[in-house]
Amino acid sequence: MSPSVLICDDSNMARKQVLRSLPEEWKDSVQIACNGAEALTILRDNSIEILFLDLTMPGIDGIGVLQGIQKLKLNCSVFVISADIQPEMQNKVKALGAKEFMRKPVQADALLNNLQLHGLL
């Protein structure tokens, strides 16, 4: 059975980059959020297993979403995909519970490797 997946990014192109990297059979169960607030609403009302999360977004950013997930005590595997590649930022998102950090533009093999690494594939 394919897991429930949420992709959160303010860029349509970036969302498509993630989507096309996913296994074909997952694609029907993918939800989309264009910003942090939308993501938190979807996360609250659905049981999302895997979240692909951008950091730099207007309004509630990726850090805000990670904090929200902690506050709501959600059990969700988060993979951050960001252009903000500073080592301090990578450490920060991991400290906030993200499984992995991937730099943009995301490459399909890196994404699939990371899913495998965490037993999600």
Partner 1 sequence: MNEFHLTEDQQDCLQELINIAMGQASDQLARYLDTFVYLKVPSIESVEAKDLMKTLSQQKNTMAVVSQGFFGYEGIRGESLLVYQEEDSGRIADLLGYEPDELSQDEQLIDISSILTTTFLNVFAQQIDNRLSYNAPKLLPNVQEILSEHLQQMPFTWELALKVNINYQVTDYSFNCNMILLIPETAITNIKHVLDRILEEY
E strand or H helix that includes residue 114: helix 108-117
Least distance to partner 1, CB of residue 110, Å: 15
Q: How far apart are CA 103 and CA 111, in angstroms?
A: 10
For partner 1, which is the closer residue by CB, 48 or 54? Answer: 54
Least distance to partner 1, CB of residue 46, Å: 25
**Residues within the interface to partner 1 (CB under 8 A):** 10-14, 16-17, 20, 56-58, 82-86, 88-89, 103-105
For partner 1, which is the closer residue by CB, 77 or 79? Answer: 79
Whether 96 and 61 have beta carbons less than 8 Å apart is answered as no
Q: How far apart are CA 71 and CA 18, in angstroms?
A: 26
